[in-house]
Amino acid sequence: MTDDLEALKVRISHLQRILNSTADMIITSDPEGKITDFNARAERLLGFPLKKVRGRHTQTLFFQKSSFRRLCKRFDKAGIVRSFQTRLRTAAGEPLDVNLTFSRLRGTDGAVLGTVCVARDIRAQNELEREFRRKSKFLAEILEHSAAMIITADTQGRITEFNPEASRVLGYAREEAIGQPAEFLYLRPKDRERLISHVRKEGQVVEYDTRLITRERNVIDVSLTMSLLKDDEGGVLGTVAIGRNVTQERRLEKKLERLSITDSLTKLYNRRFFYGALLRVRRGLTKHPIPVSLILFDIDRFKEFNDRHGHLAGDKILKAIAKTIHRSVRRGVDIPCRFGGDEFTILLPQADAATALVLAERIRRRFAQMGFDGCALSMGVAQYEKWESMKRLIRRADTAMYAAKNAGGNRVEIA
């Protein structure tokens, strides 16, 4: 009998050590709801020693009585309550967030001895959840109010997020876009393939210029920055693209570029563009030899005309010549320029001297028919000779032009 008693004492001591070492608070009560036991974890977290709470009603540990009443109501109905989130009151009167299980405590004969409450401190978990909600709200605010389009896609390339700016610019409601393959937004779907390829290699692509299609089938210029979207472990979830509608910017850039290479009066290319075109044609000749010719001309007696009629009348002549040139040249092939003052050039790729002569004569005759008080054109034609410099080509055309002028003007000479 003594041995059995000793064994029982050892077992009870062992169980007590287990209860006191657990990470959960364990609180037992008698059938009347009065606290009978309180493990070490409960003492530590709540700040009450067992001797101060033994005999007190379990309800006194709850921060809100209404929460205890809800617990009892559910307990009376089901006989056990699991995962009940509430707040207990510490000795300092502070709330302690817990997740508890409340069940009946029975003896070996099945008789109800009271209740056992197993409660876990969830303050850290709740703080993580609150932080997650704060971050989610912050990210949602960014998506909602960002001045940039933000579009995410999964690893299969299907759209998973589409912010209001993307909807505003592209015209698709979020619900329409979600689940669609991202390629459907691109004018050239292969652009996205190239983007994805770069992102996989580099991790990010910054300010990539591409073109997207709106719901109304309008094409817009967009500058995209794309990177991989990863989870906390580094696993790839998909991609995130941040884009700006730069259509107006690109139009302005093109307009400024046109202005920088165009003569404002005649709308022909200017001297700067002419020299750049010469270099490009010269480089092309090393790979693909083709006949190239140059027409260079100016207006006979233009100074006298200006002196008699004024500069506004002189400007009319320059505009008339430009109009005549535009009517005569091959669009997209020939390169007409105002070289400066009353001098003009026309660079003719894929044209020999004979072809250039025909064009020059056409321009000369059309201008002569306009009858600008004695003004006419003296024109020089030169065909590019293998290995010569472009400077020499211009000089030969210029020499031919002066030969025409010295011969009385209103004529074309070939170098």
**Residues 64-101 pLDDT 10s:** 999 999 999 999 998 899 999 999 999 999 999 999 99
Burial of 307 (0-12, 13-18, 19+ CB in 10 A): exposed
Q: Find where tokens 């004492």 sit.
A: 9
Q: Which residues contact 414 (CB under 8 A, 6 or more apart)?
A: 353, 357, 380, 381, 382, 400
Higher pLDDT, 340 or 140: 340
Q: What is the pLDDT of residue 267?
A: 92
Average pLDDT over residues 59-67: 93
pLDDT for residue 254 is more than 60: yes
Euclidean distance between CA atoms 148 and 274, whole angstroms? 40
- For residues 363 and 110, the model is more confident at 363
Residue 109 pLDDT = 83
**Measured between alpha carbons, how far apart are the two ends of the chain, in Å?**
134
The string of pLDDT tens digits covering residues 258-306 is: 888 899 899 999 999 999 999 888 888 878 889 999 999 999 999 999 8
Task: Residue 34: name the closest of 63, 62, 56 by CA.
Answer: 56
Query: According to the model, what pLDDT value does residue 388 have?
Result: 86
Instruction: Identify the weakest region by mean pLDDT among 14-18, 354-358, 401-405.
Output: 14-18
In terms of Cα–Cα distance, which of 343, 348, 344 is closest to 358? 348
pLDDT above 70: residue 4: no
pTM: 0.53
Q: What is the pLDDT of residues 7-51, one digit of tens each?
A: 545 555 555 665 666 789 999 999 999 999 888 899 999 999 988
Report pLDDT for 317: 93
Please, is 415 exposed, middle or buried when counting C-beta atoms within 10 Å of its C-beta (0-12, 13-18, 19+)?
A: buried
Between 127 and 167, the more confident residue is: 167
At 191, the pLDDT band (50, 70, 90 cuts) reads: confident
Give the percent of the chain with pLDDT over 70.
94
Higher local confidence (pLDDT), 175 or 10: 175
Instruction: Compute the average pLDDT of residues 147-152.
Output: 89
C-alpha R_g of the chain: 45
- The predicted pLDDT at position 409 comes to 92
The model's confidence at residue 321, banded by pLDDT at 50, 70 and 90, is: very high
Q: Give me the pLDDT at residue 284, please.
A: 84
pLDDT score at 337: 96
Using alpha carbons, select from 329, 325, 323, 362 the residue that is nearest to residue 348: 329
Domains of the chain and any CATH numbers:
18-121 (3.30.450.20), 137-247 (3.30.450.20), 262-414 (3.30.70.270)
Confidence at residue 61, expressed as pLDDT on a 0 to 100 scale: 94
